[in-house]
Amino acid sequence: MPDDVHARAKDLIARQLVEGISASEREWLERHLGACRECAEVAETTEQAIRNLRSIPVALPPDLASRTQFRVYVRTQSMQPAGYHGWTLWVAFALCWMLGVASAPLVWRGFEWFGHFAGVPSLVLKLAFGLWWGVPAAIAAGIWTLEKRRIEEG
């Protein structure tokens, strides 16, 4: 038999014991092991080695889980950007909304004038005015994103 058949059989033997193989591959391997004594010995030796490895007791420290949890916690804390507490987001948010509330009467008069001048329906004006209130939120999100990026890069 060509060497590639034996190489395939050895690969399937290893994969069968570690990750599993499909039914068609298992059938092919069983047929091959029935016909090839050399590969059957490799399969038997490999299975015996796996059984021996599984029978070896491994002593783990009793506090392994708590030490691992602590190290994960420390690592997550070190990954957070230093000095960032989100106060810039709240300042930007408050400033944008204060400007939005202060400018609302002027903006509405501007929309009203434009609607009267251009003949735009009242519903469209109201929708446009509502969208105008989304501008401060977009500005705050932009400031927050820039500030966060500056802290992460610095």
Distance (Å, rounded) from C-alpha 114 to C-alpha 108? 10
Is residue 129 within 8 Å of 111, Cβ to Cβ?
Answer: yes
The more confident residue out of 67 and 140 is 67
Distance (Å, rounded) from C-alpha 25 to C-alpha 31? 10
Q: Given pLDDT bands bounded at 50, 70 and 90, which one contains residue 134? A: confident
For residue 17, what are its two tokens?
Answer: 């014991």
What digits encode the pLDDT tens for the residues 100-122?
788 888 888 888 888 888 888 88
Residues whose CB falls within 8 Å of the CB of residue 72, separated by 6 or more in sequence, listed in order = none
The more confident residue out of 92 and 104 is 104
Q: What are phi and psi of 146, to 5 degrees?
A: -65, -40
Is residue 9 within 8 Å of 27, Cβ to Cβ?
Answer: no
Q: Given pLDDT bands bounded at 50, 70 and 90, which one contains residue 24? A: very high
